[in-house]
Amino acid sequence: METDCMKMINKGLDDEMEVWGYCRSRWRVALVGVGTLCTGGLLLLLLYWLPEWGVKSTCRPCPLKEAQILLLRSTDEFRRWFRVRVHVLQSPGLSPFDAVDLQTSPAGGCGIHPYPDVSYTEPQAMQICYFNHHSMQYFWNDTIQNFEAINGMEDLRLSCSSLLSEYSSGLSRPQQDYRKLFFGENEIAVRVPSLFMLLIKEVLNPFYIFQLFSVILWSAEEYYYYAAAIVFMSVISIAISLYTIKKQYVMLHDMVAAHSIVRVSVCRGNKEVEEAMSTDLVPGDVIVIPSNGTIMPCDAVLISGTCIVNESMLTGESVPVTKTSLPNSDMEGKELYSSEQHKRHTLFCGTEVIQTRFYSGELVKALVVRCGFCTEKGQLVRSILYPKPTDFKLYRDAYLFLLCLVGVAGIGFIYTIVLSVMNQVPARTIIIESLDIVTITVPPALPAAMTAGIVYAQRRLKRVGIFCISPQRINVCGQLNLICFDKTGTLTEDGLDLWAVHRAENGRFAQLEQDPGTDCEMDSPFLACMAACHSLTKINGELSGDPLDLKMFKATGWLLEEATEEETSLHNPIMPTVVKPPKRPKVNESEVTATPDHSMELYELPDTHELGIVHQFPFSSALQRMSVVARWLGGKRFEAYLKGAPEVVAGLCKTSTVPENFTEVLEDYTRHGFRVIALAHRQLESKLTWHKVQNLNREHIESNMDFLGLIIMQNKLKPETADVLEDLRRANIRTVMVTGDNMLTAISVARDCGMIGPQERVIVVDAQPPSGGHAAEILWHYTDSSSALTSKDNSIQFVEIESDGGPSNGRLRGQYHFAMSGKSLAVTLEHFPDLVPKLVLRGTVFARMAPDQKTQLVEILQSVDYYVGMCGDGANDCGALKRAHGGISLSELEASVASPFTSTTPNISCVPNLIREGRAALVTSFCVFKFMALYSIIQYVSVILLYSILSNLGDFQFLFIDVVIILIIAFTMSLNPAWKELVAQRPPSSLISVPLLFSVLTQIMVCLSFQALAFIWVQHQSWYEKWTPLSNACNATRTGLSIDPNITHPTDHKNIRNYENTTLFYISSFQYLAVAIVYSKGKPFRQPSHKNWPLVLSCISLYIFLFLIMLYPVSAIDNFLEIVCVPYEWRITMVIIIVVNAVVSFILETLVLDIILWRLVFSQDKLGKDGVVSATQKTQQSNDRWGTRFFAWLFCQNRKTPKTRYSQLAQELQDDLDWPPRPQTCTYGKAPHLSLNL
């Protein structure tokens, strides 16, 4: 709840935050200062790591308006805290769009005169509070009593006509300077931090602070060698980290800085055009777009002229896009301007203007609407600079596990203090040894060891052509259980081939025609529509544009000619783009004649088969159509040509011109996977002139049309698609199609590629919004390969073929899929929110989806606990690619910056590769974490046991264990490559799970038992005595051996050399190796460990070395490691203990955990890909019924409900006899669960 001290900013947006106001409190600051001195700076570090504590401990709460410090907290699941400082701006006005008297105001603000030659009188400046956060500025607004971000012209909420009438003349220089106070420099500045600042930030990481504490402690214990080794590793780690971070900053800076600052021509209010730097631009400026193109330095809306733009930086689609000027007609002019809704008129920052269309006396102008980080490119850069944390259970559990280790360390800490006090150990020794326990229990090399597996996986991915900009996502990809695929360019080939055309004449379909260029008459409206209704343009003499438009135009065989700049400037009227049949002689200029009754508005050529395109309404994904206005050169009337989705076009045509069998014909094509486009045409009124045509809205043009027929395009599946989807299906990974294409075409492709089985039903969810006083409703249509029909009124109808009264719901269980359009999804979300989880549980085809709806669908799937992957070609998929747990782009363009992964292989074979490597990296992370946890516990047990006799491991023993054994093993056990195929089993996602806890705890108990056994056993040997430099146990018990006597130091102050120390050193060293081998698992997620030759070589070498020095001691090595000589019989006994220890560890991990418990207990609640128990699982459970029940009872697994929401929902729906809804029924908004027969 909002109060004076707490408000919400960015409501409803991704970066929504709660804000608290604070003022500095001197006595609190003084108190913190005293605490910092008393704790040696540790309190200051703690407050640095926890900004909310830092603010609350040094400041007092106050109203936001009076605040000096603000505390921000994100409202997402991460609840991150930020501390920001409030600044004060001196300004003549409170808002950049206020009308203030700038003739007497210093535009530079703060008493600075930007123009020394102009005299000013100083007015009373206003003070405005603001703060910066994540490259955005938030200003205080007295009206709403809250801070708000000022984005640009869209904040004014003006209509298109108002923007054109009020702001088309531009700003004066004083107005520009005034607005610059608020908006600052128009620059997406990626500041590259200095190495010193990066170093300070890196070393203040809690991990390195802990390492510093450890090094100081070890130095105090005179463990110089090990401390030096840790310092060396830390320096190398910090250097690599600084290099990587610096490199990423430099790369991002170079990518953003390229062409970001250019010279621009700015229109001033007095119609003067002056040159300026793009950094000076502010919202409201009017700039001139040069004819030879430019890189846009801001977001701007076209107010005159036309531009051809390459938007690959934002969309990933390298196809040039035509941008037209903002509409000013009655209907469209009244719409509020929105860069998203009017993107066909908006030039976005970072996109390249290839060329412009301008006319004599009229420049191509654009109104600046957003600058800097507020632009589309700026938002993209912000998402890279300030990404959301990776929400993965592994990392959260890792912290909990470390806390458990800290708890264990606490027990050892107390034990050491009590034991030392009882033995009257000096206070200094008590402090050092008790703190040493903490450094042993929490291994310093843990983060580096866990990162190794991810780094190796990243390198392997790079070798197969998959590049990663977010390495932490690799582990997340190991848990993916649902993949969304775009259709065109991803599942199917990029290009479309024209298969045939099906013209309609007199309300009937004619015969199919394979070559429209030769089969259609030259003056046919159908052929003219194909030749004129597109957005193609010529760039450097080459036709360029949408691939579909290119295929369609080239099929006509016609030519396209565009007016040159010289031709345009010669005449006042417009020279249109002309399309004409081939092999027509080009007329010369002297033959050009004009039509008298049109005031020479269009120059006409004598050849009547030349068509001039005079106005274009670009394709709109929301409207699913495009249209043009053209006129035959020599004709008297304008013609309108329309193309688009068949069901949309048919709805805009006269009923009499649409064939009666339209739905059957369309269904037949879509059922076979063809992409179908409909054409329409009409003659416009004779009274229309060119100027009137320019001001007509598209609703007037696109109505009462004559239906011309269908273009049938063939979009083939990529060769790899079906096999890859089959691999994913066998691995119990759900596949979903998310496309902007036609519903029936999408269903057909889903059947062809195997997403939907041959015998599986498809239930189309046709949701209708409330209308005419009726509540919203959902029509449930069942369809198969012979029952779907498409109506011409934008809805979908289905005829159910039933042989025995219709399918029962029981027979449908597990054999049905939902399909729905973007429109139906929007209606369902608004009026049937309780049905959404049920629909996405079985939703396989989502057609006619807008880009933002793709992102929304990913979020819905994530809300029911799916780990969602997204694979798209980059075009319109950027939002979903960023939002998914694992987004992989098939586009190598700059839009891939938005995707965590980019594949150089242009097909979906990269998806299984990514999942396999993700699973291998995830399992590796678990293995390394368990190994490092066991390493710390084993060493902890050794030290605790030795503390009981006032001994410890030696400096070089620690060094040998931590560097020679642990580091080598930890980094080589991560080298196992991924298993060659995907399996149905998924790796665990949590460290805090019964199998993993069982694994760790049993191995801890085994290691503890054998160490304790050896420790006690050695003390009960007949030759045992308290070791002294004169002890000679070897020769006393085995006289036949020729062993050099130990050369020892005269005294051993730390009591390192003794029989217990030597025994525990050998036993624990072999325990590290045994645990490493046991945890280095291969199949089903990684290649077998014997193929990891560095690990095999390391283990063999260490085993040989340890056995040699144990069985055949070398004096130099014994003295170096501070090992004492023990009798040969005890060495054989240790070998037996080591072998039995290894065998028990192997049996517990492999036989008991992996085979018995995992099969009978822990896998019994594993469901299929849709959350339903498979038949094979049921068979296995019935065969193992006795064992399952016994072990389930033993491990408290009875009646265990699934943890994931989708699995819980699947179980609920299995018991729901009314789900799925029956064929041809309707669900109404007021009673979502009530189905009535139609």
What is the C-alpha to C-alpha distance for residues 278 and 300, in angstroms, rounded to an integer? 12
Helices (H), 631-762: 646-651, 662-671, 690-695, 698-701, 721-730, 743-753
- Return phi, psi of residue 1060, to 5°: -65, -45
Percentages helix, strand, coil for the chain (3-state, rounded to 5) are: 45, 20, 35
Beta strands at 263-267 and 273-277: parallel, antiparallel or unpaired:
antiparallel
Task: Spell out the residues 6+ positions from residue 289 whose beta carbon is closer than 8 angstroms to its own.
Answer: 302, 305, 307, 347, 353, 356, 363, 364, 365, 366
Q: What tokens were used for 198?
A: 């990066």
Q: Among candidates 247, 268, 412, which has minimal Cα distance to 942? A: 412
- Return phi, psi of residue 267, to 5°: -85, 125
**Total Cβ atoms within 10 A of residue 685:** 8
What is the C-alpha to C-alpha distance for residues 421 and 413, in angstroms, rounded to an integer? 12
Beta strands at 788-790 and 796-798: parallel, antiparallel or unpaired:
antiparallel
Strand order across the 286-288 sheet: 273-277, 263-267, 286-288, 365-370, 299-304, 346-347
What is the C-alpha to C-alpha distance for residues 856 and 850, in angstroms, rounded to an integer? 10
Find the length of the chain: 1238
**3-class secondary structure, 615:** strand
Residue 666 · residue 787 · CB < 8 Å: no
Distances (CA, A) of 872 to 310, 352, 478, 881: 19, 23, 19, 7
The DSSP secondary-structure symbol of 1150 reads I
Distances (CA, A) of 267 to 168, 290, 298, 301, 453: 9, 13, 15, 14, 57
Q: Among candidates 574, 564, 589, 561, which has minimal Cα distance to 359? A: 574
The DSSP secondary-structure symbol of 656 reads G
Distances (CA, A) of 827 to 280, 741, 777: 45, 19, 9
**Total Cβ atoms within 10 A of residue 1231:** 10
Q: Which residue has the tokens 């003794």?
A: 1058
- For residue 535, what are the β-bridge partners? none
| Plot region of 739 (φ>0 → left; ψ -120 to 50 → alpha; else → beta) | beta
| CA geometry: angle 792, 794, 797, nearest 5 deg | 75
Catalytic residue chosen out of the listed positions 15, 285, 397, 486: 486
Q: Give the type of residue at 907.
A: N
Give the HSE-up count for residue 166: Cα atoms under 13 Å, Cβ half-sphere: 11
330 part of the active site = no
Give the HSE-up count for residue 800: Cα atoms under 13 Å, Cβ half-sphere: 18
What is the C-alpha to C-alpha distance for residues 518 and 513, in angstroms, rounded to an integer? 9
Omega of the bond prior to 1084 within 30 degrees of 0, cis?
Answer: yes
**Total Cβ atoms within 10 A of residue 268:** 18
- Return phi, psi of residue 131, to 5°: -145, 160
Q: Give the type of residue at 31.
A: L
The DSSP secondary-structure symbol of 839 reads H
Residue 861 · residue 482 · CB < 8 Å: yes
Q: What tokens were used for 892?
A: 């190598």
Write out the catalytic residue numbers.
486
